[in-house]
Amino acid sequence: MADKTGSPAPASGRLLEGVTAVVAGGGSGIGQAIVARFAEHGAVVEFVDINQSAVAETERELRGRGLGVSGHVADVSDPGQVAAFAEKVAARHATLGALVNSAGIQRYGTVETTSPETWDEVFAVNVRSMFLLAKHAVPLMRRNGGGAIVNVSSGQAVASQRNVVAYTASKGAINAMTRAMAVDHAAEGIRVNTIVPGSVDTPMLRASAAAIAPDDTDRVISEWGAEYPIGRVGQPAEIADACVFLASPLASFVTGAELRVDGGLLAGVALRSPGEDE
């Protein structure tokens, strides 16, 4: 999907009509929502996830809605498995128009309590997977004069919570890698951007909430949401909609950007102003 200067949105209103897209981490959460939204906007989506049952269920549900999706099982942190997946995509499609890297894991610990093995695990899934998939995507995008890569990062790349050193470092690395990729491949018509979400109601977030209150995760998530200016946590579809924008012709002049989709969380500070209500 080469971007043309001033390209209008398709008349159909489907922003990704005819685009072949790859989505990593598409079996659940934000990735699953991205697969659905891309297909709803006319893309043919090849998605990959390590969870076989999640792949099968997502494929069954979305195909049942008449959407053009195909699921694959692979560990996207493994170079051999990514290469094999890329070969399948290349064999099925002449070109690639979009790649969304949304696979990710979260582990807890400080620099003192995090083991080297955990550090390596987080960076393998959160960063190396994006490097590997982009490495194979760029040549396919070059075939049709360009494309769009969207890397899903986190607000933790900008402002960190306590006890998440590996996760925070990995998300900062994603933002830096995105900038480098954007500069390297802009002349080829390949745009590379980052989505920076806040807390989103996904299985990962609910697992974190369950670690605090196993019998009342909704309360914990509601309390987290109350800290956001918008008053709630995000929904996966809201992140997916932002990814559609960045992958579409509407974003033809956007590359190297970090788009915050965080309900205003990073726009303010926690300190109170004089005269502010307690």
Domain ranges of the chain: 20-198+234-260
Region label for 264, one of left (φ > 0), alpha (ψ between -120 and 50) or beta (otherwise): left
Q: Selecting from 1.10.645.10, 3.30.70.20, 3.40.50.970, 3.40.50.720, what CATH number does the domain 20-198+234-260 have?
A: 3.40.50.720
Output the furthest CA–CA distance in the chain (Å, rounded).
64
Residue 179 exposed, middle or buried by CB count within 10 Å (0-12, 13-18, 19+)? middle
Closest CA to 150 of 109, 190, 184, 205: 190
Q: Is the dihedral of CA 197, 63, 74, 47 positive or negative?
A: negative
Give the residue, 232 or 9, on which the prediction is more confident.
Answer: 232
Q: For 169-228, how does the pLDDT look when each residue is reduced to its tens digit (9 = 90+)?
A: 999 999 999 999 999 999 999 999 999 999 999 888 999 899 899 999 999 999 999 999
Predicted model pTM: 0.92
Q: What is the pLDDT of residue 59?
A: 98
DSSP letter at 188 equals: G
The span from the CA of 26 to the CA of 58, in Å, is 8
Q: For 212-265, how does the pLDDT look when each residue is reduced to its tens digit (9 = 90+)?
A: 999 999 999 999 999 999 999 999 999 999 999 999 999 999 999 999 999 999
CA 216 from centroid of its chain's CA atoms:
28
Q: What is the pLDDT of residue 2?
A: 44
SS3 6: coil
pLDDT at 74 > cutoff 50: yes
Closest CA to 259 of 241, 235, 271: 241
Q: How many CA atoms lie within 13 A of 264 on its CB side?
A: 11
pLDDT at 46 > cutoff 70: yes
- Tokens standing for 215? 């019998």
pLDDT at 94 > cutoff 80: yes
pLDDT at 269 > cutoff 90: no
Q: Which of 38, 47, 85, 167 is catalytic?
A: 167
Question: Locate tokens 């159909």: which residue?
Answer: 12
> What percent of the chain clears pLDDT 70, i.e. is strictly above it?
95
The span from the CA of 199 to the CA of 261, in Å, is 9
The span from the CA of 35 to the CA of 46, in Å, is 8
Q: For 111-169, how does the pLDDT look when each residue is reduced to its tens digit (9 = 90+)?
A: 999 999 999 999 999 999 999 999 999 999 999 899 999 999 999 999 999 999 999 99
pLDDT at 60 > cutoff 70: yes
Active site residue 108: no
The span from the CA of 3 to the CA of 46, in Å, is 21
The span from the CA of 94 to the CA of 117, in Å, is 39
CA 231 from centroid of its chain's CA atoms:
23
CA 127 from centroid of its chain's CA atoms:
12
Q: What is the pLDDT of residue 81?
A: 98
Q: What is the pLDDT of residue 1?
A: 43
Q: Helix, strand, coil: what percent of the chain each, to 5?
A: 45, 15, 35
